[in-house]
Amino acid sequence: MTFGRFLSDRLGRIILWLVCFAAAVLFLAATGTQIDVLIILLLILLLVFLMVQATDYLRDRARLRELESILENLDKKYLFTECVPSADNFYKRCLFDLMRRAGQAMISAISDTHAAQRDYREYVESWVHEIKTPITAARLVCRQVEGEPRRKLDSELAQIEAHVERALFYARAESPEHDCVIRPTSLSEIVSQTVERHRTLLMQSGVRIETQGLEQQVYTDKKWAAFILGQLLQNSARYRGDTPVITISAKPLAKQVQLTIQDNGIGIPAHELPRVFDRGFTGSNGRSRGGATGMGLYLCKKMSGFLELDIQLTSEEGVGTCVTLSFPAKENLTRM
């Protein structure tokens, strides 16, 4: 707070003081008071006025700095009103009491919202685990069917499992710290398990997988990294070309490890690239082929942020898409 801003806020009071000074001077002059006495009296009143304003300014500035320091040192800023020391006059105490009551109402609303979100997340996780039982039963029944009907049923069940898994990770992504554990993990193991999990979809889509340089160790959560890779494989299979090939390769880069997923699919229009990680964005390819939710790449981006992965996507329409995941070095991780 500057002194000029302080004075501008008190402009009405200053004008009142000046009017009183002028009235006092006119009154004393009318009663025959000598000019020297009037000048001395005016100087004394002006000095008192300036001292009062300076004292108020210094006190208010110190108070604001104290409040700013309290706010800056708080991890949870919404608790500010609970930590503010008592004011020095009745009006300010009443004002801060109103602010404190408003803050308590907000904290209560936030707590209720968090509780509702936690209950919903727990319900979704419970539902996901329960729905796996009928899916497994349906797969067992599917084995008794032969030919084209079995292939179609396998395909539909694979899509159901993909949607269920996406719902589970979407719920967990709201509080990733409760489910994510970063530790040294074999990159080849992550890739092999992910490819095996999506084997049905890849085979039915006629996709050939090529790998190279996966003998690397990375620091990440194995389950979350596999989910991210799975979403990328599903996208490559969905938007495949005539002879689909997905190349998964890795290479060390300084202290990082870069994992690249390159396909030769239909690609993404250039004007849509800035929005591919937006929540719910399906793009022209998703709308034309149907079934897209716009959540896969959104979840990849969100989970990559928590895992401290750098995810970059490049694509050329009619040529293919390339996604690069950069796994951080151990010393650069903040969640180890």
DSSP state of 270: G
Residues 202 and 309 in one domain: yes
DSSP state of 31: T
- Which range of 53-57, 144-148, 213-217 scores highest in mean pLDDT? It is 213-217
Output the pLDDT for position 194: 92
Q: Is the pLDDT of residue 28 over 70?
A: yes
Residues 89 and 189 in one domain: no
Output the pLDDT for position 92: 78
Output the pLDDT for position 38: 77
Higher per-residue pLDDT: 327 or 126: 327
Domain count, the chain: 2
Residues 76 and 195 in one domain: no
pTM score > 0.75 for this model? no
With helix as H, strand as E and coil as C, how does 93-111 read?
HHHHHHHHHHHHHHHHHHH
> In the predicted model, what is the mean pLDDT of residues 179-184?
82
Higher per-residue pLDDT: 79 or 282: 282
**Is residue 164 domain-resident?**
no
**Is residue 322 domain-resident?**
yes
Output the pLDDT for position 335: 64
Q: Which of 105, 127, 147 finishes a domain? A: 105
Give the range of the structural domain holding residue 81, as residue numbers without chain letter.
Answer: 3-105
Phi, psi of 242 (to 5 degrees): -75, -40
Residues 215 and 328 in one domain: yes
Residues 84 and 189 in one domain: no
Nearest-10 crossing angle of helices 296-307, 222-238: 150
Q: Which of 105, 125, 159 finishes a domain? A: 105
**Is residue 256 domain-resident?**
yes
CA 193 vs. chain centroid, Å, equals: 29
Q: Is the pLDDT of residue 77 over 70?
A: yes
- Residue range 218-246, pLDDT digits in tens: 999 898 999 999 999 999 998 988 899 99
Higher per-residue pLDDT: 115 or 312: 312
Q: Is the pLDDT of residue 3 over 80?
A: no
**Is residue 267 domain-resident?**
yes
Higher per-residue pLDDT: 216 or 88: 216
Higher per-residue pLDDT: 11 or 307: 307
Output the pLDDT for position 152: 81
> In the predicted model, what is the mean pLDDT of residues 9-21?
79
Q: Is the pLDDT of residue 198 over 80?
A: yes
Q: Are strands 208-212 and 245-253 parallel, antiparallel or unpaired?
A: parallel
What is the percent of the chain with per-residue pLDDT over 70, rounded to a whole number? 97
Q: Which of 105, 123, 143 finishes a domain? A: 105
> In the predicted model, what is the mean pLDDT of residues 242-265?
91
Structure-block tokens of residue 211: 């790998």
> In the predicted model, what is the mean pLDDT of residues 311-326?
93
Output the pLDDT for position 139: 79
**Is residue 293 domain-resident?**
yes
**Is residue 135 domain-resident?**
no
Q: What is the CATH number of the domain that holds 188?
A: 3.30.565.10
- Residue range 141-159, pLDDT digits in tens: 887 878 778 778 887 888 8
Q: Is the pLDDT of residue 313 over 90?
A: yes
Output the pLDDT for position 326: 93
Residues 94 and 193 in one domain: no
Q: Is the pLDDT of residue 269 over 80?
A: yes
Output the pLDDT for position 314: 93
Burial of 126 (0-12, 13-18, 19+ CB in 10 A): exposed
Higher per-residue pLDDT: 310 or 143: 310
Higher per-residue pLDDT: 331 or 275: 275
Phi, psi of 291 (to 5 degrees): 85, -5
Structure-block tokens of residue 280: 């719910």
Q: Is the pLDDT of residue 297 over 80?
A: yes
> In the predicted model, what is the mean pLDDT of residues 261-268?
92
Output the pLDDT for position 290: 67
Residues 192 and 91 in one domain: no
Higher per-residue pLDDT: 299 or 172: 299
**Is residue 296 domain-resident?**
yes
> In the predicted model, what is the mean pLDDT of residues 249-261?
90
Residues 194 and 317 in one domain: yes
Q: Is the pLDDT of residue 79 over 80?
A: no
Residues 6+ apart with CB under 8 A from 141: none
Residues 215 and 96 in one domain: no
**Is residue 158 domain-resident?**
no
